[in-house]
């Protein structure tokens, strides 16, 4: 099914819900935006297919909006945990195929799991994990100047690069860059083979022109 044939609904148009609507609409999908607050609905009308003022804790509303015909419904009601739980329950009982729900904490998430939410998002936690992974992926310990614009550095392998071989790194596909060593725990291998598979926390010692190294490390 093409994206433009997919029907999404987003219930609750806080900052999170609104940005979900915007991204889906930008991708060309059909989006129904729903909120009890008229102002919030007005803000969404400019970019979604349809925007409606309605209370989704009511079975009749969910039936009237024909939400069970949608491919996916996102419930992004944050502050009012009762409304979020009730809305999710009504959706599942009305036969909505796939209900994604934003949870504010682990207790909220546990209840959502019990009542059958298909996917639970905890934005702050999920984003924290993602940022930490990105930080690990980008972690470079130090640059040691070798003169004549040459430098040496150590690169720590994060989650994004684990499972790849040294030869698969774009960094190592550059003729000007040399992999001098490979560290895993206390073990150090000089001139490792390009077919060595990397694990999280491994370290590569690489050398080359400083500007080339910096550019390559940015895109790692
Ligand atoms: P943000 O996403 O900005 O961090 P938040 O997670 O705290 O905000 P809320 O401020 O609770 O989310 O916003 C969720 C939206 O859900 C509000 O605009 C609110 O009007 C709406 N809402 C609350 N109850 C219902 C309901 N029963 N049906 C539809 N919309 C609802």
Which tens digits make up the pLDDT trace of 5-37? 789 999 999 999 999 999 999 989 999 999 999
The CATH number given to 3-121 is 3.40.50.720
- Determine whether the shortest distance from the Cβ of 34 to ligand 1 is under 6 A: yes
Those residues whose C-beta lies under 8 Å from the C-beta of residue 87, and which sit 6 or more positions away, are 11, 56, 57, 75, 77
Those residues whose C-beta lies under 8 Å from the C-beta of residue 82, and which sit 6 or more positions away, are none
What pLDDT shows up at residue 185?
A: 83
Indicate if the alpha-carbon torsion angle 49, 54, 57, 59 is positive or negative: negative
**Closest protein CA for atom 12 of ligand 1:** 78
Question: How many whole angstroms from 77 Cα to the centroid of ligand 1?
Answer: 4
Report field, pTM of the whole predicted structure over 0.85:
no
- Determine whether the shortest distance from the Cβ of 65 to ligand 1 is under 6 A: no
Question: How many whole angstroms from 216 Cα to the centroid of ligand 1?
Answer: 43
What pLDDT shows up at residue 140?
A: 54
E strands, 99-159, where? 99-102, 119-121, 140-147, 150-156
What pLDDT shows up at residue 97?
A: 92
CB 204 within 8 Å of CB 154: yes
Report, as ranges of residue numbers, the positions in the chain whose pLDDT lies below 50.
none
**Closest protein CA for atom 26 of ligand 1:** 55
Domain spanning 126-218, CATH architecture? 2-Layer Sandwich (3.30)
Segments making up each domain of the chain, as ranges = 3-121, 126-218
- Could you give the percent of the chain with pLDDT greater than 70? 94
β-pair type (50-53, 119-121): unpaired
Pick from 133, 150, 152: which is nearest to 142 by CA? 152
Pick from 50, 63, 71, 54: which is nearest to 11 by CA? 54
- Determine whether the shortest distance from the Cβ of 122 to ligand 1 is under 6 A: no
Question: How many whole angstroms from 152 Cα to the centroid of ligand 1?
Answer: 51
What pLDDT shows up at residue 215?
A: 83
Please identify, by atom number, the ligand 1 atom nearest to the C-alpha of residue 79.
11
CB 158 within 8 Å of CB 139: yes
Residue 149 to residue 55: CA distance in whole angstroms: 64
- Residue count of the chain, please give it: 220
Burial of 182 (0-12, 13-18, 19+ CB in 10 A): buried
**Closest protein CA for atom 6 of ligand 1:** 78
Strand order in the sheet with 119-121: 50-53, 30-35, 7-11, 72-75, 99-102, 119-121
Tokens (6 digits) for 118: 């298909």
């Amino acid at each position: 099914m093409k994206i433009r044939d997919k029907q999404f609904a987003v219930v609750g148009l806080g900052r999170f819900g609104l940005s979900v609507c915007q991204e889906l609409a930008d991708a060309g999908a059909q989006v129904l935006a729903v909120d009890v607050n008229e102002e919030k609905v007005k803000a969404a009308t400019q970019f979604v297919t349809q925007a409606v003022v309605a209370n989704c804790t009511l079975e009749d509303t969910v039936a009237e909006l024909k939400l069970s015909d949608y491919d996916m419904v996102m419930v992004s009601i944050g502050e009012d945990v009762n409304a979020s739980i009730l809305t999710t329950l009504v959706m599942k009982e009305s036969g909505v195929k796939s209900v994604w729900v934003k949870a504010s904490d682990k207790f909220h998430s546990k209840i959502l799991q019990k009542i059958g939410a298909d996917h639970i998002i905890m934005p702050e936690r999920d984003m924290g994990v993602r940022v930490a992974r990105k930080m690990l992926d980008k972690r470079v310990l130090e640059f040691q100047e070798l003169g004549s614009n040459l430098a040496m550095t150590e690169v720590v392998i994060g989650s994004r690069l684990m499972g790849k071989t040294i030869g698969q790194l774009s960094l190592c596909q550059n003729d000007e860059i040399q992999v001098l060593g490979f560290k895993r725990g206390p073990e150090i291998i000089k001139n490792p083979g390009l077919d060595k598979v990397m694990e999280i926390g491994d370290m590569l010692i690489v050398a080359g022109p400083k500007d080339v190294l910096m550019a390559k490390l940015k895109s790692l």
